[in-house]
Structure 1
Amino acid sequence: MFKIINKIKPLIKHKQVLNFVNYYIFTIINAGISIFSISYLTKHILPEDYGMIGIYGSVLFFLPSMMSFSANGLQAIEIVDLERDKYLVFRNSYISFVLISSAISFVVAILLSFYFKEFGFVIIMATIMGFIQTLSSIHNTELFQYSQPTRFGLISTGTVLLGFMCTVLFISFFNLNWKSRIFALLISEFVFLFIRLYYLSSIGSSFRFTFDKVQFKYLLNYGAPLMLSVFAGWVLNQSDRYFLLNYFSLKEVGLYAAAAGIASFIVMINSNMIKVVYPLVYRKLSKREGKRFILKLTVLYSVLILIISTVFCIGLHFFGHLVLGKKYESAMPIIYIMCVAQSFFGIYTTTGLVIDYFKMTKLKTVLVVLSAILVILTSFVLIPIFGIYGPAIATLISFLFLSILSFFISLRLFKKHKIV
């Protein structure tokens, strides 16, 4: 017994383990607030209204990647590879690039809002939120890379909590409609963006707009192959709503969006796992080592996330009626399927770090595009058979395919780059 304790003690004191625990404490808190928010919304707004929030989320999904040209991964790599002064020059160029691309996105959003008048509000609001989240992600990347989990956790929890409080205030006290939920989220993100840029970092005070053609070309060359991947990723994660809108109505989209919101508990676990391990993985790969570590990480995380997903679904089976409003209870099977699907996506992201580090953006794009084609084909086949559950099953099949293929590609990259 004492031998086991003595072995565990050094592990507990290990920086990566402490970061892992720190991130997940806040993940659990944030997940609790998010699930409580969804529970509140399903008891106060109709599924049709939740459908509009679901469309808003689907538009927002790809906007930060579009505005940043998928260069967040490059920012993380540059923090590792560049000296501090050179990185700050890169950061200024990167933010300048984001400002230009965001301005273009706003023009496109305004034009689209006139064409799709029914969804004009969600298009404009998603574009504003996408801009705010893009700037926030720059700060988040630095927090992850410099191992500041407590600060990240406090910011993320504060954002989620303020968004929920504003939602309750607008809906319960001012009797506003579903649009107020989006306003609440926007207010929360903006408040904490200001705090991020001017009180918790030097990003705002040190920024100087620079039109650096060399840096812009560097960003474009890195991100260009990934833009197709972004669209394919959107198909993988968000196209289900439009399949349902085509085959059914906004009511079914609302049910599906609520289910996806509950299943985002698994998404949070996945994203926080990556935040903890990717700085360590990148450092190991930069030294041409870490093969055993990454393979062990993949196996252990696969087991862990599937167990968590199973336990979470069992809990929902017995207590789900307390979480969802009565009009949303038919969405419960969708939650089960999507939780397992997101578990496999989490497995994919562990081996996907190897592809990201070696900047194999074209290869990653091909991988995601193949999965997107698979989800489209299987959705068309499964919806007539399984109805509203068809897109969720299609997503599960595609994420399973993605995780398996990524694993074997990573093995090839280990061999090619002689990673030991």
Structure 2
Amino acid sequence: MSISEMNWSPLSERLRPREFDDVVGQEHLTGKKGIIRGAVESGKLFSMILYGPPGTGKTTIGEIIRSKLGNRYHFEFFSASLQGTADLKKHFEHAERLKKVGQQLVLFVDEIHRLNKSQQDVFLPVTEKGLIILIGATTENPSFEVNPALLSRCRLVILKGLNESDIDNLLRKALEKDRVLKSSGVTVCDEVIEVISQSSGGDARIALNLLDTLVESAAALDRTSLDLQVMNELSVLPSGRYTKKGEEHYDLISAFIKSMRGSDPDAALYYMLRMLEGGEDPKFIARRMVIFSSEDIGLSDPMALVIANATFQAVSNVGLPECVLNLSEAAIYLAVATKSNRTCSAMMKAREMVKATPNLDVPLKLRNAVTKMMKELGYGKGYNYPHTTGGFSREYYLPESIKEEVFYVPGTNGKERYVLERLRSLWKGMKLYPEEK
């Protein structure tokens, strides 16, 4: 390939590894003892799902497998984002013809998560019978995006996210070996390499192509050196890999909730802003805080629900970018608030009792006697109006067989300790409220 021809290809393509030894960060798969390398070199290739973040080498590994297969196999690519079921059937028909001449089709399915359930189902019989060897590649968690039946017929192979050191090495290798970069006459400073490595989200493709763009842009401006000042002038930075439907979505919201639960306002702000910078709907975050305020704070600080609900309303009324202030205030408040999951625990205990005793009769005294017959049957008889007895009538309200059950046991954090003292005082000798363990 000439330099002029190479200019038409992105750096990530020009520098794509051609050998297993050249793959970065996946030693457990492509190293001398790697499972994929071993399978290819021994001629015992198996169906697999390659799962990992963008830019970690899934397609590259597929290309290397294709170049290493012997005459026994025939390798073909299928793009789930561009092709459909009719195209798959053509591949399977070709696999039948290959089988007759002693060959087996290896079908690489890029972005397999884009296929719907019925499309994924067509792989079941052909993988079960060994008509094809399936290599599916996905950036989405296979537990959510790949049919369990299909996943059970394949081996899940996980690619590791690249760290900053991996990206740094790739960028320096590109500057050393790529003829286009070398011919540009632009020297790249270490600080620029460091910034790209830190901000590319472990995506080799983003990092390499960003370097390519920066060098090309600097050369067009007749700059011989690419430093941070020039980089800032060019205003080019990667946007990260967060997607509202990807695994990063679940990871970050989980980290956000756990940080608030752990009373770490700094971590809560960090993860919240990661989501917002990635394009997350601020209402989604506010909605989760409303849930959190009851699930993890409860009556230890009743104001938490008020603030969370007000924040949701503020987000709805104000919108981005100003509503980030409202979200930040709420996240900090919820993080530093006293914590109690007793409300949540009470709900779950009560639900279990409802499932176990769904048909217990409501005590007659609690029923409204809306007809003469009901009154004659005793509906409402014996009911004591609490306001006529000082606000508490010292009687049970649950059905007779479970009347002494206690679902809600307040803790001693924050204002909930006063709730515990009150309930113990009211129900002394009738219901047992255990000491805090």
TM-score, normalisation: structure 2: 0.19
TM-score, normalisation: structure 1: 0.20
Higher helix share: 1
The structure number with the bigger radius of gyration is 2
